[in-house]
Amino acid sequence: MPTYEYVCAKCGKEFEHFQSIKAKPLTTCPEDLCAQSRWGRGRVKRKLSAGAGLIFKGSGFYITDYRSEGYKQAAKKESETAKPSTAGDAKSSSKTESKPAKSVPAPKSA
């Protein structure tokens, strides 16, 4: 069951209320939460809120748990080919050649 946020138009009190999705929204400020010294019976309005994220607990909730064997084998082959074969190859690929920049002619003035 979700927790909804409400704000009272009369006393300005903001509060949360734990209720079922099927339950009708509150219409008046609850007496025990009212900010006025005497219960004002102010109209309340449900606020829009982002809510809470889903939390999955236990095993079986990781995306990799449901991968097919074919996918796992293809990923393994791909990771093996991505590794450099020798240390010498890695050093030579890190060197870059420097080339002079092309000069662009200045625009002609009229």
Domain with 30, as residue range(s), is 3-46
Q: Quick: pLDDT tens for 20-53.
A: 888 888 888 888 877 777 777 788 888 877 666 6
pTM metric for this prediction: 0.41
Nearest to 27 by CA among 41, 37, 13, 12: 41
pLDDT at 57: 67
pLDDT tens column, 90-101? 555 555 566 666
Bridging pattern class, strands 14-18 and 44-46: unpaired
The number of domains in the chain is 1
Question: How would residue 65 be classed by pLDDT, with cut points 50, 70 and 90?
Answer: low
What are the structure tokens assigned to 96, written together?
Answer: 């870059």
Task: Determine, yes or no, domain membership for 23.
Answer: yes
Would 24 be classed as within a structural domain?
A: yes
In-domain check, residue 63: no
Is residue 41 included in any domain, yes or no? yes
Tokens of 66: 């449901």
Q: How many CA atoms lie within 13 A of 46 on its CB side?
A: 16
Per-residue model confidence as pLDDT tens digits over 10-19? 888 888 888 8
